[in-house]
Amino acid sequence: MRKIKLLSVLTITLVIATVSVYMINFNRTNKPQGTEPSTEKTIKYNFSEELFSDEKLKQVSDLIVRAKVKGLKEKATKKVSTTSNNEKVDITAPIEIYEVDVLEGIKNNEKPPKSIDLVIPASSITIETGKEYMLSLYKIKGESSLTGSYGLTSFSQGIYKLDESNQELVSVKTKQKIKKDDFIAKFKD
C-alpha cells in the first residue's frame, strides 16, 4: 500500500514537473503581450500532492473554512524561486487567483478573514464561481504580491465542493465524498 502511495506521489510530481517544463518552454516562445513573468523576489508556494491523515491535515493547514467562490480575480504567470519548504527552485508557473468569501471558520474559527485570495496553479483543478467549498489552506509567505493569499494544503484533500442536493462534499480532485456535517465535526476547533 505504501509503495502504491509513493508511486502515485511520484507520478503526480512527474506530471507537474513535465507540465511546468512545457509551460516554461511555451512561455519563452509564445509570449502574448502582458504575460511576462513577475520579477518579484520570492514567492513561497506549495505544489504539494502529499496525502495527510485528518489530524496532520488539520495541523499543517493555517485555515480550514467553508467558503463561496466570488470569481476569478486574475490569471498571471509568476516566477517561483522558493517553495513553502524553503527549497530553492527556478520555475515560471501560470496561476489563477480567485476571490473567495469565507462563510464559516472550521479551524481557527474565532476570527477567520471575511474574504481571501485563493492561489492555485492554472488548470490544476476546476473551480466554479458561486459554488460553496470546504478549503484546507496555508498562508503564502515571501516577498511578493501574493504574500497573505492562501494556497491549498493538498490538491487531493484541500478542496471539496458542496453538492447542495444532498449536503455531501465531493473532492474536486479525487471525487471522494463525505457528509458536510462529518467533515465539519472532524476539523472543527
The number of distinct structural domains making up the chain is 1
Amino acid at 44: K
pLDDT for the residue numbered 70:
97
Whether the pLDDT of residue 9 is over 70: the answer is: no
Residues 6+ apart with CB under 8 A from 28: none
Whether the pLDDT of residue 46 is over 90: the answer is: no
Average pLDDT, the chain: 77
The number of CA neighbours under 13 Å toward the Cβ of 49 is 18
- Measured CA to CA, the distance from residue 139 to residue 149 in angstroms comes to 6
pLDDT in tens, 123-137: 778 899 999 999 999
Q: What residues make up the domain containing 118? A: 2-187
pLDDT for the residue numbered 32:
40
The most distant pair of C-alpha atoms in the chain lies apart, rounded to whole Å, by 50
pLDDT in tens, 107-163: 866 688 999 999 998 877 889 999 999 999 999 887 677 888 999 988 888 899 999
